[in-house]
Amino acid sequence: MTPEIVGLEKPLRLAGMLLIFGLLVEAICLLWARPLAFIVLVGAGGFLCAAGIVVYLYSLVSAARVRPEQ
Amino acid sequence: MSPSTTLLLCLILFSAVLVSVLAALPGITASRGGKILAFLVLFVLPLLCMAIGVSSEVERSKSTSFCLSCHVMEPYGRSLRVDDPSYLAAAHFQNHRVPADQACYTCHTNYAMFGGVRAKMHGLRHVYVQYLGKLPQQIHLYEPYNNRECLHCHLGARSFEEGAMHNADPDLLPAVKANKMSCLSSGCHDVVHNVGQLNNVKFWKGDK
Protein backbone atom coordinates (compact mmCIF):
# COMPACT_ATOMS: atom_id res chain seq x y z
CA MET A 1 0.00 0.00 0.00
CA THR A 2 1.29 3.47 -0.82
CA PRO A 3 1.11 6.17 1.82
CA GLU A 4 -1.79 8.57 1.42
CA ILE A 5 -1.56 12.29 1.91
CA VAL A 6 -4.05 13.60 4.41
CA GLY A 7 -5.11 17.17 5.05
CA LEU A 8 -4.47 18.30 1.48
CA GLU A 9 -8.06 19.06 0.53
CA LYS A 10 -8.38 22.42 2.28
CA PRO A 11 -5.10 23.95 1.10
CA LEU A 12 -5.71 22.65 -2.42
CA ARG A 13 -9.14 24.29 -2.47
CA LEU A 14 -7.67 27.54 -1.13
CA ALA A 15 -4.83 27.46 -3.68
CA GLY A 16 -7.37 26.75 -6.42
CA MET A 17 -9.58 29.65 -5.41
CA LEU A 18 -6.63 32.07 -5.25
CA LEU A 19 -5.42 30.93 -8.66
CA ILE A 20 -8.87 31.18 -10.23
CA PHE A 21 -9.27 34.76 -8.96
CA GLY A 22 -5.73 35.59 -10.11
CA LEU A 23 -6.36 34.18 -13.58
CA LEU A 24 -9.70 36.01 -13.79
CA VAL A 25 -8.00 39.30 -12.90
CA GLU A 26 -5.39 38.61 -15.59
CA ALA A 27 -8.08 37.86 -18.19
CA ILE A 28 -10.00 41.06 -17.34
CA CYS A 29 -6.79 43.13 -17.51
CA LEU A 30 -5.97 41.72 -20.95
CA LEU A 31 -9.41 42.78 -22.21
CA TRP A 32 -9.21 46.19 -20.49
CA ALA A 33 -6.65 48.05 -22.60
CA ARG A 34 -5.85 50.91 -20.22
CA PRO A 35 -2.58 51.86 -18.49
CA LEU A 36 -4.06 50.96 -15.11
CA ALA A 37 -4.65 47.39 -16.35
CA PHE A 38 -0.90 46.70 -16.26
CA ILE A 39 -0.68 47.76 -12.62
CA VAL A 40 -3.74 45.68 -11.67
CA LEU A 41 -2.41 42.68 -13.60
CA VAL A 42 0.96 42.71 -11.88
CA GLY A 43 -0.29 43.90 -8.48
CA ALA A 44 -3.55 42.02 -7.92
CA GLY A 45 -3.30 39.19 -10.49
CA GLY A 46 0.36 38.52 -9.75
CA PHE A 47 -0.23 38.59 -6.00
CA LEU A 48 -3.20 36.20 -6.16
CA CYS A 49 -1.43 33.74 -8.46
CA ALA A 50 1.76 33.88 -6.38
CA ALA A 51 -0.28 33.33 -3.19
CA GLY A 52 -2.06 30.35 -4.78
CA ILE A 53 1.22 28.78 -5.86
CA VAL A 54 2.78 29.34 -2.42
CA VAL A 55 -0.24 27.78 -0.68
CA TYR A 56 -0.04 24.78 -3.02
CA LEU A 57 3.72 24.29 -2.52
CA TYR A 58 3.39 24.78 1.24
CA SER A 59 0.60 22.20 1.36
CA LEU A 60 2.93 19.70 -0.32
CA VAL A 61 5.74 20.10 2.19
CA SER A 62 3.49 20.33 5.23
CA ALA A 63 1.03 17.52 4.41
CA ALA A 64 1.19 14.62 6.90
CA ARG A 65 1.92 11.24 5.36
CA VAL A 66 0.26 8.26 7.02
CA ARG A 67 -0.03 4.63 6.05
CA PRO A 68 -3.61 3.46 5.88
CA GLU A 69 -4.46 0.80 8.41
CA GLN A 70 -4.46 -2.71 7.03
CA MET B 1 -8.20 41.89 -30.17
CA SER B 2 -4.93 40.47 -31.49
CA PRO B 3 -4.62 36.71 -32.17
CA SER B 4 -1.92 36.40 -29.48
CA THR B 5 -4.24 37.96 -26.87
CA THR B 6 -7.04 35.60 -27.93
CA LEU B 7 -4.72 32.62 -27.59
CA LEU B 8 -3.56 33.81 -24.17
CA LEU B 9 -7.18 34.26 -23.03
CA CYS B 10 -7.92 30.68 -24.18
CA LEU B 11 -4.91 29.42 -22.18
CA ILE B 12 -6.09 31.36 -19.10
CA LEU B 13 -9.62 29.98 -19.48
CA PHE B 14 -8.29 26.43 -19.94
CA SER B 15 -6.10 26.82 -16.84
CA ALA B 16 -8.98 28.24 -14.80
CA VAL B 17 -11.22 25.30 -15.76
CA LEU B 18 -8.54 22.78 -14.77
CA VAL B 19 -7.90 24.62 -11.48
CA SER B 20 -11.64 24.58 -10.78
CA VAL B 21 -11.77 20.81 -11.37
CA LEU B 22 -8.84 20.27 -8.98
CA ALA B 23 -10.35 22.58 -6.37
CA ALA B 24 -13.70 20.79 -6.60
CA LEU B 25 -12.19 17.29 -6.58
CA PRO B 26 -8.96 17.45 -4.56
CA GLY B 27 -9.19 13.67 -4.04
CA ILE B 28 -7.85 13.05 -7.54
CA THR B 29 -4.42 14.17 -6.35
CA ALA B 30 -4.09 10.95 -4.34
CA SER B 31 -2.88 9.04 -7.40
CA ARG B 32 0.51 9.56 -9.06
CA GLY B 33 -1.12 10.92 -12.20
CA GLY B 34 -3.26 13.26 -10.12
CA LYS B 35 -0.17 14.64 -8.37
CA ILE B 36 1.51 15.35 -11.69
CA LEU B 37 -1.70 16.97 -12.95
CA ALA B 38 -1.92 19.11 -9.79
CA PHE B 39 1.69 20.24 -10.23
CA LEU B 40 1.04 21.22 -13.83
CA VAL B 41 -2.29 22.91 -13.10
CA LEU B 42 -1.45 24.65 -9.82
CA PHE B 43 2.16 25.57 -10.54
CA VAL B 44 3.29 25.40 -14.17
CA LEU B 45 0.17 26.73 -15.95
CA PRO B 46 -0.41 29.79 -13.68
CA LEU B 47 3.27 30.74 -13.93
CA LEU B 48 3.10 30.39 -17.70
CA CYS B 49 -0.08 32.47 -17.89
CA MET B 50 1.39 35.24 -15.73
CA ALA B 51 4.69 35.30 -17.64
CA ILE B 52 2.96 35.52 -21.03
CA GLY B 53 0.38 37.99 -19.64
CA VAL B 54 3.00 40.38 -18.25
CA SER B 55 5.04 40.10 -21.44
CA SER B 56 1.93 40.84 -23.51
CA GLU B 57 1.07 43.89 -21.37
CA VAL B 58 4.64 45.18 -21.58
CA GLU B 59 4.48 44.84 -25.36
CA ARG B 60 1.10 46.59 -25.45
CA SER B 61 2.50 49.44 -23.35
CA LYS B 62 4.69 50.33 -26.34
CA SER B 63 1.69 50.96 -28.59
CA THR B 64 0.71 54.44 -29.73
CA SER B 65 -2.90 53.89 -28.65
CA PHE B 66 -1.71 52.93 -25.15
CA CYS B 67 0.29 56.16 -24.73
CA LEU B 68 -2.56 58.26 -26.10
CA SER B 69 -5.19 56.63 -23.88
CA CYS B 70 -4.35 59.13 -21.12
CA HIS B 71 -6.35 62.33 -21.62
CA VAL B 72 -3.33 64.54 -21.05
CA MET B 73 -1.60 63.01 -24.11
CA GLU B 74 -4.50 63.71 -26.46
CA PRO B 75 -2.97 66.88 -28.03
CA TYR B 76 0.27 65.00 -28.65
CA GLY B 77 -1.75 62.35 -30.51
CA ARG B 78 -3.39 65.09 -32.59
CA SER B 79 0.00 66.57 -33.38
CA LEU B 80 0.90 63.34 -35.21
CA ARG B 81 -1.78 64.16 -37.79
CA VAL B 82 -0.75 67.74 -38.57
CA ASP B 83 -0.69 68.23 -42.33
CA ASP B 84 2.65 70.03 -42.38
CA PRO B 85 5.97 68.27 -43.10
CA SER B 86 7.86 70.72 -40.88
CA TYR B 87 6.21 69.07 -37.85
CA LEU B 88 8.85 66.48 -37.05
CA ALA B 89 6.67 64.05 -35.12
CA ALA B 90 3.88 64.22 -37.71
CA ALA B 91 6.28 63.70 -40.63
CA HIS B 92 7.80 60.64 -38.95
CA PHE B 93 4.39 59.18 -38.04
CA GLN B 94 2.63 59.81 -41.36
CA ASN B 95 5.51 58.60 -43.53
CA HIS B 96 6.16 55.52 -41.37
CA ARG B 97 9.70 56.62 -40.58
CA VAL B 98 8.78 55.14 -37.22
CA PRO B 99 6.32 52.24 -36.84
CA ALA B 100 2.93 53.97 -36.69
CA ASP B 101 1.69 51.57 -34.00
CA GLN B 102 4.71 52.29 -31.76
CA ALA B 103 5.33 55.92 -32.69
CA CYS B 104 5.69 57.39 -29.17
CA TYR B 105 7.87 54.58 -27.84
CA THR B 106 10.21 54.54 -30.84
CA CYS B 107 11.26 58.18 -30.38
CA HIS B 108 10.85 58.52 -26.61
CA THR B 109 12.62 55.40 -25.44
CA ASN B 110 16.28 55.59 -24.60
CA TYR B 111 18.60 53.62 -26.86
CA ALA B 112 21.31 53.38 -24.23
CA MET B 113 21.70 50.39 -21.89
CA PHE B 114 18.53 49.64 -19.88
CA GLY B 115 16.70 52.31 -21.90
CA GLY B 116 13.62 50.10 -22.16
CA VAL B 117 13.59 49.52 -18.40
CA ARG B 118 13.93 53.27 -17.76
CA ALA B 119 11.06 53.94 -20.17
CA LYS B 120 8.90 51.44 -18.25
CA MET B 121 9.80 53.04 -14.90
CA HIS B 122 8.85 56.44 -16.31
CA GLY B 123 5.62 54.86 -17.56
CA LEU B 124 4.78 53.61 -14.05
CA ARG B 125 5.38 57.12 -12.74
CA HIS B 126 3.09 58.51 -15.44
CA VAL B 127 0.32 56.10 -14.39
CA TYR B 128 0.77 57.20 -10.77
CA VAL B 129 0.57 60.88 -11.73
CA GLN B 130 -2.43 60.24 -13.99
CA TYR B 131 -4.50 58.58 -11.26
CA LEU B 132 -3.09 59.80 -7.95
CA GLY B 133 -0.89 62.80 -8.61
CA LYS B 134 -1.23 66.32 -9.95
CA LEU B 135 -0.99 66.66 -13.71
CA PRO B 136 1.48 69.35 -14.81
CA GLN B 137 0.21 72.33 -16.78
CA GLN B 138 2.82 71.68 -19.41
CA ILE B 139 4.59 68.40 -20.10
CA HIS B 140 8.36 68.47 -20.29
CA LEU B 141 10.94 65.84 -21.18
CA TYR B 142 12.92 64.49 -18.22
CA GLU B 143 16.13 65.63 -19.88
CA PRO B 144 17.03 67.44 -23.13
CA TYR B 145 16.34 65.22 -26.13
CA ASN B 146 19.49 63.26 -26.91
CA ASN B 147 20.62 63.01 -30.56
CA ARG B 148 21.38 59.36 -29.88
CA GLU B 149 17.67 58.62 -30.25
CA CYS B 150 17.64 60.23 -33.75
CA LEU B 151 20.96 58.69 -34.78
CA HIS B 152 19.69 55.24 -33.83
CA CYS B 153 17.89 55.28 -37.20
CA HIS B 154 19.47 58.13 -39.17
CA LEU B 155 23.16 57.46 -38.61
CA GLY B 156 24.62 56.13 -41.87
CA ALA B 157 21.50 56.95 -43.87
CA ARG B 158 22.33 58.65 -47.17
CA SER B 159 19.82 61.47 -46.71
CA PHE B 160 21.37 62.23 -43.31
CA GLU B 161 25.06 61.85 -44.18
CA GLU B 162 24.89 63.54 -47.60
CA GLY B 163 22.07 66.04 -46.98
CA ALA B 164 22.94 69.52 -48.34
CA MET B 165 22.02 71.34 -45.13
CA HIS B 166 23.88 68.82 -42.99
CA ASN B 167 27.05 69.38 -45.03
CA ALA B 168 26.81 73.15 -45.49
CA ASP B 169 29.04 73.55 -42.46
CA PRO B 170 31.78 70.88 -42.10
CA ASP B 171 31.58 71.13 -38.30
CA LEU B 172 27.85 70.44 -38.16
CA LEU B 173 27.66 66.66 -38.58
CA PRO B 174 30.50 65.90 -36.13
CA ALA B 175 28.82 68.19 -33.57
CA VAL B 176 25.47 66.50 -34.10
CA LYS B 177 26.99 63.02 -33.84
CA ALA B 178 28.76 63.99 -30.62
CA ASN B 179 25.49 65.39 -29.23
CA LYS B 180 27.14 68.80 -28.90
CA MET B 181 24.50 70.34 -31.13
CA SER B 182 20.93 69.18 -30.85
CA CYS B 183 18.98 68.04 -33.93
CA LEU B 184 16.10 70.02 -32.43
CA SER B 185 18.14 73.24 -32.30
CA SER B 186 16.50 76.48 -33.29
CA GLY B 187 16.54 76.81 -37.06
CA CYS B 188 16.95 73.05 -37.64
CA HIS B 189 14.26 70.50 -36.70
CA ASP B 190 12.76 72.70 -34.00
CA VAL B 191 9.06 72.11 -34.75
CA VAL B 192 8.25 68.80 -33.09
CA HIS B 193 4.83 68.45 -31.43
CA ASN B 194 4.12 72.17 -30.84
CA VAL B 195 0.79 71.34 -29.22
CA GLY B 196 0.20 75.01 -28.38
CA GLN B 197 -0.36 75.78 -32.07
CA LEU B 198 -2.73 72.96 -33.00
CA ASN B 199 -5.67 75.35 -33.34
CA ASN B 200 -4.01 77.03 -36.30
CA VAL B 201 -3.00 74.03 -38.41
CA LYS B 202 -4.61 71.68 -40.93
CA PHE B 203 -4.87 67.98 -40.15
CA TRP B 204 -4.21 64.98 -42.33
CA LYS B 205 -7.37 62.92 -42.79
CA GLY B 206 -5.77 59.71 -44.10
CA ASP B 207 -4.85 56.39 -42.44
CA LYS B 208 -7.61 56.49 -39.83
- Look at residue B77 and tell me whether its pLDDT is greater than 90: yes
Whether residue B206 has pLDDT greater than 90: no
pLDDT-derived band at B128, boundaries 50, 70, 90: confident
Shared domain for B20 and B86, answered yes or no, is no
Weakest mean pLDDT among B72-76, B87-91, B139-143, B145-149: B139-143
Instruction: Among B41-50, B108-117, B160-169, name the one with the lowest average pLDDT.
Output: B108-117
pLDDT reported for residue B208: 61
Same domain, residue pair B52 and B75: no
Is B42 a domain residue?
A: yes
**Is B46 touching A (CB cutoff 8 A)?**
yes
Whether B33 is in a domain gets the answer yes
The answer on B73 and B47 residing in a single domain is no
Predicted pLDDT at A1:
43
Look at A64-68, B43-47, B179-183 and tell me which has the smallest mean pLDDT. A64-68
What DSSP letter does each residue of A26-39 carry, written as one string?
A: HHHHHHS-SHHHHH
* Residue finishing a domain among B32, B60, B88: B60
Same domain flag for B36 and B90:
no
Distance of CA B199 to the CA centre of its chain: 26
> Does any domain span residue B54?
yes
Gyration radius (Cα) of chain A, Å:
17
- pLDDT band per the 50, 70, 90 thresholds, residue B104: very high
Residue type at position B70: C
The reply to whether A3 touches chain B by the CB within 8 Å rule is no
**B15 is a domain residue:** yes
- B125 and B76 together in one domain: yes
Do B188 and B97 have their domain in common? yes
- Chain A residues touching B38 at Cβ < 8 A: 12, 56
B33 vs A contacts (CB less than 8 Å): none
- For B30-37, the CB contacts below 8 A with 24+ separation are B30/A4, B30/A5
Do B98 and B191 reside in the same domain of the chain? yes
Number of structural domains (chain B) is 2
Q: Is residue B165 part of a domain?
A: no
Domain shared by B191 and B121, yes or no: yes
ipTM above 0.85, yes or no: no
For B167-180, what is each residue's pLDDT tens digit? 999 999 999 999 99
- Of B17, B38, B60, the one marking the end of a domain is B60
Strands (E), chain A: 4-6, 64-66
* Chain B residues lying within 8 Å of A35, measured CB to CB: 61, 66, 69-70, 123, 126-127, 130
pTM of the model: 0.78
Range of the domain at B30: 3-60
Note whether B194 and B115 are same-domain residues. yes
**CA–CA–CA angle B127, B57, B107 (5° rounding):** 70
pLDDT exceeds 50 at position A70:
no
- Report yes or no: B26 and A13 within 8 Å, Cβ to Cβ: yes
